[in-house]
């Protein structure tokens, strides 16, 4: 007679319990990592603030020109490399032009052209640090009609965006 019949079901239950605990533990670690990554991304987005100001638009000899200043008002570094420019008509809400649709020239203006409100003694030369300012000159070989325009910028650092408005008379 076989007296060890009861041990096999006990071992099976113990093994099933161990597999269940292992699966739950693995799922907990995996979900915790996903939540931490989402929270870090949200914190980075929350601490990234850009202020675009002193925007001026004009039509000069068949060329649309816009000058504006971007200031990092957040508490972390931002790469001011512009990866996309979109211009919208404020009255209709229609997109007028985007980067790549027409020939655009976007240049970083020199420190000497910064507006008088900019106090260079408060900042060092790196335009990416919090509190830094960088000026841009956007030009494209077409006239725009008179009106109110919104210029939307996308920067290379985590798809940071900023926008400004300018009046074209």
59, β-bridge pairs: 64
The structural domain count of the chain equals: 2
User: What pLDDT is attached to residue 86?
Assistant: 85
CA 151 from chain centre, in angstroms, equals 15
- DSSP conformation class of 121: G
pLDDT for residue 21: 94
141, 107: one domain: yes
The structure's pTM equals: 0.59
Which residues span the domain enclosing 160? 50-168
Question: Are residues 139 and 161 both part of a single domain?
Answer: yes
Predicted confidence at residue 58, as pLDDT, reads 87
pLDDT of residue 71: 84
User: Of 69, 89, 81, 64, which is closest to residue 150 (Cα–Cα)?
Assistant: 89
Q: Give residue 19's pLDDT.
A: 94
pLDDT, tens digit (0-9, with 9 covering 90-100), for 70-104: 888 877 777 777 778 888 888 888 888 876 777 77
**Non-local CB neighbours of 154 within 8 Å, separated by 6+ positions:** 82, 83, 84, 85, 86, 160, 161
pLDDT score, position 72: 83
Query: Do 23 and 70 share a domain, yes or no?
Result: no
Residues of the chain below pLDDT 50? 111-126
Question: Residue 29's pLDDT is what?
Answer: 93
What's the pLDDT score for residue 8? 82
Q: Are residues 15 and 60 in the same domain?
A: no
Strands (E), the chain: 50-60, 63-72, 82-89, 95-98, 104-108, 133-140, 147-155, 161-168
Helix (H/G/I), strand (E/B), else coil: 49: coil
Q: Is residue 122 helix, strand or coil?
A: helix
The per-residue pLDDT for 156 is 73
Q: Are residues 106 and 31 in the same domain?
A: no
Query: What is the domain-level CATH number for residue 86?
Result: 2.60.40.10
SS3 71: strand
């Amino acid at each position: 007679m076989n007296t060890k019949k009861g041990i096999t079901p006990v071992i099976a239950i113990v093994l099933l319990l161990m597999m269940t605990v292992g699966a739950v533990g693995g799922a907990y670690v995996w979900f915790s990592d996903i939540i931490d990554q989402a929270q870090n991304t949200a914190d980075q987005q929350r601490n990234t603030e850009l202020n675009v100001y002193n925007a001026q638009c004009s039509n000069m000899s068949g060329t649309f020109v816009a000058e504006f200043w971007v200031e990092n008002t957040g508490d972390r570094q931002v790469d001011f490399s512009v990866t996309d420019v979109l211009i919208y008509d404020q009255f209709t809400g229609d997109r007028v032009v985007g980067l790549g649709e027409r020939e655009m020239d976007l240049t970083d203006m020199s420190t000497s052209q910064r507006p008088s409100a900019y106090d260079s003694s408060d900042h060092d030369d790196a335009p990416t640090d919090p509190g830094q300012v960088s000026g841009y000159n956007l030009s494209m070989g077409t006239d725009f009609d008179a009106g109110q325009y919104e210029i939307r910028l996308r920067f290379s650092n985590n798809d940071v965006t900023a926008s400004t408005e300018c009046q074209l008379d």
